[in-house]
Amino acid sequence: MGGWIKFHRKILDNEIWQDVTAFRLFTLLLLKASHKDGMKTRGIEVNRGQYLRAYSKLAEDLEYMEGRGYKKVSKSTVERKVKKLVDASMVSVSETVSGTLFTITKYDDYQGADDVNEITSGTDNETNVGRTRDDRGTNVVQEQELKNLRTKELKNKDIKNSHKQVYDEDSPPFILADFFYKEILKNDPKRKEPNLQTWSDDIRKMIELDKRDKKEIGELMRWVQQDEFERANVLSPSKLRTRYTSLLLKMKNPKKSNVTSIKAPVYERSVTDGITSKRNEQNPSAFGNVRLFK
């Protein structure tokens, strides 16, 4: 697939800019989207701004190099990031027999019909010299724009994230953050996805600063979302950390009944005068031989 696309700088202000996987996914869909209507892919008609792909294949597409090896992105992660793009009204999806059809919701707003004409208006009469010259000029401009964009990106990153740690999706803090969010979804399926990087940082503090056990943190996360009272009160790792000790004690010592069994006093009644009084332990026959309570 040849050609090029426009990428507006205001993407820097969008929340997906801080989410590396979501940003790469959106960029991939944008680059792969068809630039004209009526394209056929595995028997499915794909129109302008659409791309047909399976979630498992997208996971393979998003594989990246780290160190000396390649790192894979899980299918569940892709599904979660697609949901994030859908919630942000950046992408819409529909299922087909050949895969998921992804639609860039504002494709024409940013790519514009004029761009298609620029890409496809070349004719057989156009000289190779002219085409090469135009391509070279375009490349120079794009390279400069990319350089400027990268410089701005690095500056913003230095300012905003100089003290912020970025957590890999396979790191224990991120795994626990994602687990806690999924436990919350069981009670509130429409709960908006939080900033899992912020959650991961709070969990790291529990592990490194508070010396909490990772397994114990996970068990406590599950328990608070199963407890009838706490499920509505503990909805973030920061809240969990603040109340950790009390919640842990509550989990390990289930609430017992506050009703204390009180033994009723034993009474005797005299046959002769019908007087009722507390039994005299020293003289049990003081009120006759008939006992009402044994």
- Supply the pLDDT for residue 269: 46
- 76: domain CATH number is 1.10.10.10
What pLDDT does residue 136 have?
A: 52
- Quick check: is 89 in a domain? yes
Quick check: is 260 in a domain? no
C-alpha to C-alpha distance for 278 and 286, rounded to whole angstroms: 11
pLDDT digits (tens, 9 = 90+) for 64-114: 887 878 888 899 999 999 999 999 888 999 998 888 999 998 887 777 655
For 143, the domain range is: 126-164
pLDDT at 176 over 80: yes
Is 90 part of a structural domain of the chain?
Answer: yes
- pLDDT (tens digit, 9 = 90+) per residue, 212-239? 999 999 999 999 999 999 999 999 999 9
Confidence class of residue 165 from pLDDT cuts 50, 70 and 90? confident
Ranges 89-103, 133-147, 280-294: which has the least confidence: 280-294
Q: H helices then E strands: how many in the chain?
A: 10, 9
| 48 in any annotated domain | yes
- Provide the domain count of the chain: 3
231-267 burial string, b = 16+ CB within 10 Å, else e? beebbbbeebbeebeebbebbeeeeeeeeeeeeeeee
Average pLDDT, rounded, for the chain: 77
Q: In this structure, are 29 and 83 located in the same domain?
A: yes
Residue 99: which H helix or E strand, with range?
strand 99-104
Q: Are residues 151 and 185 in the same domain?
A: no
Confidence of residue 267 (pLDDT cuts 50, 70, 90): very low
Which of 110, 140, 164 marks a domain boundary?
164
Maximum distance among all Cα pairs of the chain, rounded to whole angstroms: 133
pLDDT for res 71: 85
Residue 268 predicted with pLDDT over 70:
no
3-state secondary structure labels for all residues of 255-277: CCCCCCCCCCCCEEECCCCCCEE
Of the ranges 29-33, 110-114, 124-128, 132-136, which is most confident?
A: 29-33
